[in-house]
Chain A
């Protein structure tokens, strides 16, 4: 008994879908990194490029949608193929949202002064690195169908929450020293919050990977760190 579909083109279509999602994932990853860099270095020149790459990500999303619809109509996938198809739909949605958040962060660079103190950006940088690592790990868990790794990412979202809290604190500290920091500090607060949201989408993806691999949802509620009420 082989593991290939009897219908070769079906096999190819599924593979093509997986490939598209992996490409979309790596695009989202580099966009998130670029947006982080832009914020930390207050690099206003890269904003346009980041906005452009978001369009690219959105295009992938609609391409993946079409592929999924075709698969559903033509193949009526079952079992692992069904989970693979539906997971791709969900993951591509989360990736697209992460892309939107990166774009939003890139836009926040514009009003920032060029001489931001390190102590202000240090925690934000750490948060950005953690979110990057989380995205990298979750995509890895998808590619390798690794349940344990996905679950690890899921658990580690608590750290994202905690670090968000700390990063917020440093911005607010800075803000309270001098009211005229207000206009750009709010942008940093939003950028921090955006990273936390990206973390939530990564957690969604982790849940989807767990479902994809084992066919059942993770039990229990999500681990929660310190959260700032909206």
Chain B
């Protein structure tokens, strides 16, 4: 009764959760162009897309992906054998347990006429699968908590997943162990199947046999027994019990537990511990199921979907509505396994730039908050945006993602989407923007240019002097702190040698590109070197010249005074960005 009620409640939560999740996949917006497409249109596009794909030759791709990437986990295999083994153990063995053991009423029993949980091969297989899951869990714990590879982050969801699995498995095995030794279950069984009651001679013989061979712990009965009694018990056993019972040693994990608990078995049985464990076991399973749509276990459903969808969808070809839907789904397909982060080209810089959002595995979690319209403060939002932009677009995260998530596209779309909030992003003013430039035709002119202008303006707005070009600059109150920070850097400190000969400016191809360079660029290279020498920060930071420097090193190569002009410009850019972040 309680079992049924809790099952149905949890099943209902599971189904409602799933429906809720599906609705978010159809409503969350990741791409600018699909901002205005309503959910109903996305649903119909999705159905149409799925039907058309299944009816086309693309179905062959789907089948291939299903076997290689979903069943065999090819991507994980290629990346890291240890992780592949861990995952394959947990997922294959758990699936088999689910089908053979948990759903035995619906699957195993109808398939095998003489099925009984206590009969081989089922008895042995249940324990084998259980043991494999346990080994997998131990390997996962080992990797996350002991091996702890650099930059692999473990969040509460990861811990929850391991814990709930561990509870299900441990309670199941201990339950089995206590049942093997349980005298009360034994007594009931004998009444039911042999029609014998305590006190009868035959009862004693059968019990002796079970104590001797089946691990039963009965009060007042201890090996060794006389051979005749065992013989008699064996006959009775073969008559009434053996059709359903293989030797419990086959249930090796449970049997080990039973052996360990042998001394306490009678007490445990009286206290009804096996009943308590039974409750723990099935409730843990039900809770795991109810919570599945909200936990990382949802990836059991979403990762295959993501792999399948990505194998047949192409940017530019597929319906944009479906791309938006796929991207919304991808947030739930992430298992936070860390494969992307371990291969991230930028991962290492987190040691210098403290922002976890640089790491793709963390970035996707934060972005999930952004698309689900969670309240995110300005500071956090900027950090996420910075993290998303600190990416060299090397595509490695996407190549290795075992869930097939097109992370690079996701970053690209989310970046553009986040720019709509009009917070300046300074990394735009670096070669990291090269990829964005190559993709410019997929963004509207206006959306493409605005963030670039904003970033420059945000820096310039911190430089009051630049706004009033006619103002006479007093030369005395120079910014010592600024000058010192430049002097700290070996390469930049050379600016002190500048005597303003203009060789750098004359060598500069950027200066040469303009008829009236001062108007466009603000200060020219030699002037910047000179102001740096005077410690006038504002003028140096506010010049467009800084951000329009090609870093071609013509100036530095030609400087007669050995001033590292390009390196000083680099240093000034770093300082300017630090300066705006400071406020």
> A and B from one assembly?
no
Report A's interface with B, CB cutoff 8 A: none
